[in-house]
Amino acid sequence: MTTVDPLKALKNFPEGFVWGVATSSFQIEGAAAEDGKGPSIWDTFCRVPGAIADASNGNSACDHYRLWESDLDLIEYLGVDAYRFSVSWPRVRPSGSGAWNEKGLRFYENLVDGLIKRGIKPYLTLNHWDLPDALQQQGGWAHRDTVHHFVEYAQGVMARLGDRVTAVTTHNEPWVMATLGHESGIFAPGIQSRATALQVAHHLLLSHGLALQALRADGVRSKLGIVLNLSPMFPASAAPEDIEKTRYEDGRLLRWYVDPLFRGAYPSDVLARLGEDVPAVAAGDMEAIKTPMDFLGVNYYSRSVISASGSWDTKTGGLDVTDMGWEIYPEGLTELLVRLHSEYKLPPVYITENGAAFKDQVEDGRVHDKQRTDYIARHISAMVEAVKLGVPMAGYMVWSLLDNFEWACGYEKRFGIIHVDYQTQTRTLKDSALWYRGFLHQLKHDKAKAGTVHQVPMIKPQPELMGS
């Protein structure tokens, strides 16, 4: 089992390195139609027969809309520096444009104030996929008007919260919204068209750049950036067609986003393969997309192995897999970060998501999720390697604080370091949460002696913090 020596690790961390936990609005809040919230594309998508593995929806989720204060107590108990959460656009502006919903804005204002009161830095994401359904009826992200609605939404939210929020992410994982939402159609809004997906990706990037410009013009002082889901890609074999497909997929996942953000251009090898699917780009768009960012967020879970025939059996790789079927490959995190650092001029980088789903069980009030603890520890080690190799790392956040609605998998997959009983809404800290707490505690406070984190004495769960 890989371990992290926190004191050695500490030496390698830049001043002000931020440790956190992450969630998103649709996955935890519930209260889907309460206090004036409008429907999002995910509320609609959940009604499509067969779209969600367990036929569930986000109506109740983790009931965080009501339980937010005790959830913040849990975050405080973990001893993290930061909490990454997202604002539900249809909760604060139900139709996407037009009237604002004061109750929705107040919810996030209370959340932010509650974090600050507990000494936790708010890291706010504006778009973690839950587009107002009213905007989808007008074409959604495929329509250029949505770009301008997003900029207005960003300005409205930040006019209210910008004086208190440490960092703002415009979009979480644009590749997922574009490709899974509009090309394979397995995510909301369930469209299947490569041309639409590429136009959506362009509009997401454009709205990111324009929002940064507008927020800076408004005097917002929070750090501004975007979050990308990235993974290193390997050809399944040395066959030329596998190598060529890998280059294309790498272009679609990584270079399609990172090149415009840092170089102001889409990758020419990908453009050359798109034929009529090349998106419409107006004069000035690429300059706007290249607007300098204060940080880049990277979500890392696994590697990808690409075969031209489309299928690759993870058993061939010989690596352990998570309950999502994703290979556990921490080295890929180091490889990815080092590659980004050598090919692009990076701002400070956060791992904004990293974690794993496993089949957890509550036994006598405990969840012994050794595999998740190991997963997290090994990925922190991999990040430490990247720090040593000069990558400008600024933070690390575990996905996720709570078990939650895992999109098309519904509630069947559990990513939380805190277990959620969806019948009673009881929270139980898993061993991984206690480990993370112990790790952070030792990292920050135990100056006496170095040792592996697995020697940190287990902290007893505190029942009063764990729901009833």
Residue pair 102/40 in contact (Cβ under 8 Å)? The answer is no
Q: Pick from 169, 222, 299, 432 the residue near ligand IFM by CB under 6 A.
A: 299
Q: Pick from 13, 257, 399, 436 the residue near ligand IFM by CB under 6 A.
A: 399
- CB nearer ligand IFM, residue 410 or residue 451: 410
Backbone angles phi, psi at 127, to 5 degrees: -135, 95
**CB of residue 326 to ligand IFM, shortest distance in Å:** 9
287 included as an active-site residue = no
Size of the site for ligand IFM (CB under 6 A): 8
Q: Tell me which residues in 325-384 interact with ligand IFM (CB under 6 A).
A: 353
Tokens representing 191 are 């469209």
327 included as an active-site residue = no
Catalytic: which of 183, 327, 335, 353? 353
- CB nearer ligand IFM, residue 95 or residue 229: 229
Pairing mode of beta strands 223-229, 121-127:
unpaired
Residue type, position 312, single letter = W
What residues does 18 pair with on adjacent strands?
Answer: 395
Task: Decide: is 173 part of the binding site for ligand IFM (CB under 6 A).
Answer: yes
- CB nearer ligand IFM, residue 115 or residue 398: 398
What residues does 148 pair with on adjacent strands?
Answer: none
Among 368, 378, 363, 288, which residue's Cα sits nearest to residue 333? 378
What residues does 4 pair with on adjacent strands?
Answer: none
**CB of residue 324 to ligand IFM, shortest distance in Å:** 7
Q: Pick from 406, 414, 434, 461 the residue near ligand IFM by CB under 6 A.
A: 406
Tokens representing 77 are 């108990």
**CB of residue 455 to ligand IFM, shortest distance in Å:** 30
- CB nearer ligand IFM, residue 172 or residue 199: 172
**CB of residue 451 to ligand IFM, shortest distance in Å:** 32
Instruction: Please provide the DSSP assignment of 5-68 as one string.
Output: -HHHHHHHSPTT-EEEEE--HHHH---TT-TTPPPBHHHHHTTSTTSSTTS--SSSTT-HHHHH
Task: Decide: is 42 part of the binding site for ligand IFM (CB under 6 A).
Answer: no
Rounded CA-CA distance 306/248 in Å is: 10
Task: Decide: is 187 part of the binding site for ligand IFM (CB under 6 A).
Answer: no
**CB of residue 449 to ligand IFM, shortest distance in Å:** 36
Q: What is the CA radius of gyration of the chain?
A: 21
- CB nearer ligand IFM, residue 13 or residue 399: 399
- CB nearer ligand IFM, residue 299 or residue 334: 299
**CB of residue 357 to ligand IFM, shortest distance in Å:** 7
**CB of residue 393 to ligand IFM, shortest distance in Å:** 19
Cβ neighbours of residue 360 under 8 Å, at least 6 residues apart?
Answer: 367, 369, 372, 403, 414, 419, 430
- CB nearer ligand IFM, residue 324 or residue 465: 324
Rounded CA-CA distance 417/399 in Å is: 8
Cβ neighbours of residue 421 under 8 Å, at least 6 residues apart?
Answer: 362, 428
Residue 7 CB burial class (10 angstroms; 0-12, 13-18, ≥19): middle
The binding track of 407-446 with respect to ligand IFM, each residue x by CB under 6 A or -, is --------x-------------------------------
Task: Decide: is 24 part of the binding site for ligand IFM (CB under 6 A).
Answer: yes
Catalytic: which of 173, 183, 327, 406? 173
Residue pair 181/195 in contact (Cβ under 8 Å)? The answer is no
Tokens representing 307 are 């075969």
Stated as kind and residue range, the H or E segment containing 271 is helix 268-271
Task: Decide: is 40 part of the binding site for ligand IFM (CB under 6 A).
Answer: no
**CB of residue 85 to ligand IFM, shortest distance in Å:** 12
- CB nearer ligand IFM, residue 353 or residue 360: 353
Q: Would you tell me which residues interact with ligand IFM (CB under 6 A)?
A: 24, 27, 173, 299, 353, 399, 406, 415
Q: Which residues are catalytic?
A: 173, 353
